[in-house]
Structure 1
């Protein structure tokens, strides 16, 4: 954010007093990361857009109840709960979008060495997406918030309302499960074996 732009507490304070322009600035600031998180949870652009739109609508309706809590974790908590509602209604668990994240494999940050690896990168992305999709809801949420949205552990704990240690445990277990599924493709992923990891601990 530009130094001359108002920060979250200022915008939230104005929004709590009914300032729609201030809330619009909050929407503009968070609409892309919120949509990206929802997309990786519910899987389709239309459903992700619905989740993001509903999250902002609910945030506007409830903004007056927000006191000292930071706005970002509070907003993402609303969106995460909407994603859970999406699945409780019997909707199919989302398929992660087929895309390259700035030349990195989603969730693991494995860089493409050179342009010649583009075809392999597509296959790596597909396999990583499948591995993340296989995680249970709680681990998938934590992993997406950390490795896709880049949230701090403390922010994630505030979003999903669990202790910090639980957040770290879920993310660690999620990464282990993803890597375990990818170890069967040694020609695509240069990951240490389970025995090698155990000997290093």
Structure 2
């Protein structure tokens, strides 16, 4: 049956070209899929490179850095005449002068001053000890000092009196270092080593070593 006004000759020309349209869609889908794969591969490669670089940073160690400067250590230490290392101080010449005058080894005298006050002339002990060698006013008077307690803060006055007392401790102790330290630390009349003087002597021996 024919419809009026419908031209059979052109019946097939108005229909959409489905095969061509599907081919176009397939091609387009393939291109998009391929582009996505390329993009994913590039992202994966970048991620891989980042991970490799991050891991490589972990291999850096402190041994690759600069060497520790030795200037600070050299500035705080000095070699004593006996070859041992003691803390540098501005009273080296003064200590050597009065130690030599009183027959006390310079190394021993320096160690005593370092332990007593760490070379601080303003040091004040809990029992009234004063200055570099922690001399008590009563002890200073025994050594012939006639000045005030305040005068014992003077570095040279303190070392002069303290070194005289140390020399007498050495003489009364008979020579051994720990005997000298006992009588300097606990008093000239002390005869038995006590824990405090024993620790004191240990520190002295460590500095003299």
Category of TM-score, reference length = shorter chain:
under 0.3
Higher helix share: 1
- Between 1 and 2, higher relative CO (CA 8 Å, sep ≥ 6) is seen in 1
